[in-house]
Chains A and B, each alone.
Chain A
């Protein structure tokens, strides 16, 4: 009689499976996990630690914290960061001092490993939460992180 009990058991397992999907069908209105992405831009908030892109925060006086030590450039596995630096005269001491000219960041090469941010001694660079990085021209992905005319925040090097 195993022939008939097989049929019975088989149908039973099939109905159990259908009950699972059926339950979700009935509760589908509130169960949907879809995020309607471009519509929910306002409410979509990334986590604080989300690695979207590397940014260099500037304060209200257009000052950043990068001393140009190039540790991030060395730490980067992909050559994403290039620091073009120069020696300028320090206003206070009058000595020649290293300062950044351009902090070039190639987002197209970045693997978001976070080693640069981990290694930065002055917390000059941080993770930005922006994830909408697509562009039509890949040169747009090469960014200069320090804003024009910005200078080093006082007291960072101490």
Chain B
């Protein structure tokens, strides 16, 4: 009998594919150079810089008040927290005494920004795994928050509400009521998120065990925010280096140990609950007082180096200012969470399928201007 032997030299061919910069799943102008074998990802190499605006260089010629508004354009989904980061750095450098009212308002708006960012993320996450309806439900709730911001700050996305020394203007008289309405509304909607997407068997199959990041790798890659916390790495700046009014509130750091896509998803859902609880604790007792401390028209930081970390919706944002005593910083560096989080994409996506890469990328929650700065 004749035996047929398959050609043992047969080799599946790896091929190369460009994902982005105009791809629906890359959420902006991120370009991923993928090496694929069939459906299996062999290598992911991000190609960045499509919207790099050199904010750090611009900061070297701008005054400190002007720098604040540039940070809106980095991670635009947590614009207000970015503003706060720069303001805190400047205030710490000047050793300004900030009124309690300002601290509380900043924290409330910061947490609302986090919820709003996570709402958008939730919608987009659902869309990335194929459930398009989540997008609209996420946006519906985010819209309420945007209205609150618009009423108080005047803008929906790039708010520029913080100035060194406090807030640009006081909160709107309707603010407290609207926030309370939102809390009651959102508390009924969050369980709906779970019923629609979290518990869904297809979603769980898609995300569990996908894109696993170990704790050691998370620390080594500088992962922060929900990405780090899903790997069991306690990295919440709000806990470890509390700023503004965060030392006055009690909340739990959302921690998971699995480190997979589903864990990152759950951490963010948990964070929305925690943020709601922080806002609830503060909203009823916003202290009376000034909303702004007068600063000099031209702020000059004393010679020295200043570093301030805050927890944005994406993770740890660091502002590093080297001042030589002039009206502009000598060097200003933003340590953006997205940049570090992106660097681990290759590490966790290799070996998965294209669908896994998309789901993983959705839970890294990348905002490209934050990476490109």
Contacts and interface: CB of A to CB of B under 8 A. Distances in A.
Contacts of A71: 297
B86 to A, nearest CB: 13
B152 A111 contact: no
A115 B83 CA distance: 14
A139 to B, nearest CB: 25
Interface of B: 62-63, 65-66, 68-70, 72-73, 133, 136, 140, 143, 147, 150-155, 158, 160, 163, 168-169, 172, 192, 195-197, 199-202, 297
A127 interface: yes
Contact of B195 (A16, A33, A75): A16
Interface in A29-57: 33, 47-51
Contact of B143 (A33, A49, A115, A119): A33
Contacts of A51: 154-155
A17 B66 contact: no
Contacts of B66: 75, 77, 113, 115
B201 A33 contact: no
A118 B163 contact: yes
Nearest to A31: B140
13 contacts: A14-B202, A17-B195, A17-B197, A17-B199, A47-B147, A47-B150, A50-B150, A51-B154, A113-B68, A115-B69, A118-B163, A118-B168, A119-B297
Given A77-B62, A115-B69, A118-B163, A49 B133 contact: no
Main DSSP-derived SS at the B contact region: helix
Given A9-B201, A13-B201, A20-B192, A49 B151 contact: yes
A10 B200 CA distance: 8
A115 to B, nearest CB: 6
Interface string A93-122: 000000000000000000111110011000
Give the interface residue-count category, chain A. Answer: 20 to 34
Interface of A: 9-10, 13-14, 16-17, 19-21, 33, 47-51, 71, 75, 77, 111-115, 118-119, 127
A14 B200 contact: yes
A10 B154 contact: no
Nearest to B68: A113
A98 B81 CA distance: 41
B158 A112 contact: yes
Contacts of B155: 50-51, 112
Which one of A51, A75, A127 has the highest number of Cβ atoms from chain B below 10 Å of its Cβ? A51
Given A13-B200, A49-B150, A77-B70, 7 more contacts: A17-B196, A17-B199, A47-B150, A48-B151, A49-B153, A50-B154, A119-B297
A49 B154 contact: yes
A47 B143 CA distance: 14
B134 to A, nearest CB: 10
B154 A114 contact: yes
Given A17-B195, A112-B158, A75 B150 contact: no
B199 to A, nearest CB: 5
